[in-house]
Structure 1
Amino acid sequence: MNYINLLDELKQRNLIFHITNEDLLKKKIKNNFISLYCGFDPTADSLHIGHLLPLITLKRFQIAGHTPIVLIGGATSLIGDPSFKSKERLLNLTNNIKIWTGKIIKQISSFLNFHCGSNSAVILNNKEWFEKMNILSFLRDIGKHFSINTMINREAVKQRIQRLDQGISFTEFSYNLLQAYDFFILNKKKEVSLQIGGSDQWGNISAGMHLINRISRKSVYGLTLPLLTQSNGMKFGKTESGTIWLDPQKTTPYKFYQFWNNIEDIYVYDFLRLFTFLNCNEIQIREKNKYKNNQIIHDKLFLSKYMTQLVHGKKNLSAAERITNILFLKNINKIKKSDFQQLKKDGIPSIEVYKIKDLQEALVLCSLAQSRTQAKNMIISNSISINSNKITNKNYIFCDNDKIFCEFTLLSRGKKHHCLIHWK
């Protein structure tokens, strides 16, 4: 990507929600390589896919020659950002934040290049400067530059103040100043001139720009990215079964792969623009032909593969594809033992048994049938499979050949209903 037209490209990809002094910023990055930053508070032991957009955007800037700085909020995570939160966050323990920080740094490290010379990515922690500051210095040197009138009129704060059942504590109210100070310190020490973040961070980013202008008399810039929501209004990355995490122990690669594979069709080409490095013109051509030869299905599959490999690597993508082939394409010959273990973990219904009398009993135990009579009718009607092989014998009894790796049997009713039997 050519750094000369980087902002134009971000616009084409619908990546810009807010931007300050666009013409000046465009001129600045045309003539110079800049340093920019994005902050991540370790409020859990993993990032989720809502964090992917800022990480990938940092990567776009780095590819264009700019220096990305990741700021871990070791201090601010002790406070909690109230931006558009309906209620007060639970305060996290210091030791938990320390552990979570290590895990999140490891995840972030796979997205950016930390060994590419002059624009190598940098990770910092705001705990470094907040630990050295006392409350009197902060209130005297930083607090005096902020008007309470302005702060309480920020939309995110106003929403909480108007809710008498929740309100907002002074702890969370002070978060805006802390993030502003982060921008000030990074501008002073690392010459950071641009902060990026989600659109809910606009108030915090603006506060940092204000502080730098008041103290240093410098012009800096802010750019926010769209917060993605689904058609039901739910935040992108969260489903009825929970958040889609980047940690494979919390959301396995197969489940991650299926999340992208099951997105609504209306999002496919928007997501190709937002999350991938495919050329915008190519995406436009694909979108124009989306109903020809099932193009949209191929593009959704491309997105699923691309995102899974980006986050989990080739090996885990292969595992996710194998499991998908097993469940949907009935290709069970290529399955590995680890795939069965992942399949069991992924929310596919499973049972552990020592002995089962016959197939009818198994169908009832697996909740694929409500009674033995219903199970028998299902078998006779040719809708039951064991390890992708149709079974029509209503009195079928399991044998050793049904136990893959002497441990697992995949029992299926039709194409969409499965249960994994784990023989003990």
Structure 2
Amino acid sequence: MPRPHSDWHIPDRYEIRHLIGTGSYGHVCEAYDHTEKRVVAIKRIHRVFEDLVDCKRILREIAILTRLSQDHIVRVLDICVPRDLQNFDELYLVLEIADSDFKKLFRTPVFLTELHVKTLLYNLLVGVKHIHSAGIYHRDLKPANCLVNQDCSVKICDFGLARTVDRVLDPKLPNSPRNGDGDMVGVANTKSLKRQLTGHVVTRWYRAPELILLQENYTEKIDCWSVGCIFAELLNMMKENVPYHSDRGPLFPGSSCFPLSPDQKHATDYKFHTRGNRDQLNMIFNILGTPSEEDIEALEKDDAKRYIRIFHQRDGIDLHSRFPGASAEAVDLLQRMLVFNPGKRISIDEALAHPLFKDIRNVASETIAKERIQLPFDDWLSLNEQQLRIAFLREVLRYHPQCAQLNAFLSQMPPH
């Protein structure tokens, strides 16, 4: 039986060691880079152009990662030059390698102290702060997208659903998605957003309520909600909170997500979704309680307001009782992150300044990007296969500027 990587077409400098991951995109292998004398991860993305929406997602991730440079964000070390520039249908990304990720960590029979938990959380927040300062909303933060090493360093990956903020912000507010008048910056929410959020078998357990409800003018607070959900699972790793590792799980394990994925038999029956325990918002309200009338009124769309009002009203639970081994500071921060109304939810900067981190905070590590990322293509327009192919090759050129074949090929192509 052939090995999964026996047909890989990569330069001789990389020596494949073994398979470390697999997914719908292809495989990831551990490899040794003989030129740089380091261990790396190589991600093979096959059938790149089979689905142009997925293809755009891959391009977006590569374009963002190659323009971010920070210790808490995974680095792209190389993109291998395709053998056939005109007809290639696979890509090889060389990435920093990590010991594990949060999803795998949560499944291990290992227990953490609160010092471990807050160190991991702090490092994650530092990474998110840098991403936001570059004008990026991640939009899909979840345990599998948080790589982790034994020294508690954290590296954020998978920017396939990320978005650049689509308006220039007030220069006095480099980390805030608001303009000088205090208005929220709009991030266009087209049909393509719904296609992206529903077209993949992705978990909704970490998705902010405003994204679930398809609100158009969401802010960077969507990522703060996701970090809160991840924080809750980190707290589960304390033996005082969950004595048996097999009992760990997400805080909001919904299995459906109306209106993103309505049951087809009840596509317009809001009450059907509010009655069942499977709905993602029901799971959230079981823990946090139903929103106040003030918070419902803060929603943009009337259909979202009507939908929320149908839910059976209830009070939230005491998170101190849910996490009895956690400090008062830890529970306080968790409560501030998991707030239904994004206008009342804690910001990343406020979270970094929270008393929970007073003994470990290193302000010098909380770097901001030198400039906001501008993608080399219009992220709101559809691109055809030829346009996508050229865009990929321009990203490859960033790593191989001296490649004569690549330069010659791209010189014949139309400009951006």
Q: Higher relative contact order at CA 8 Å, sep ≥6: structure 1 or structure 2?
A: 2
* TM-score under structure 2 length normalisation: 0.22
Q: Highest Rg: 1 or 2?
A: 1
* TM-score under structure 1 length normalisation: 0.22
Of Structure 1 and Structure 2, the greater helix share is in 1
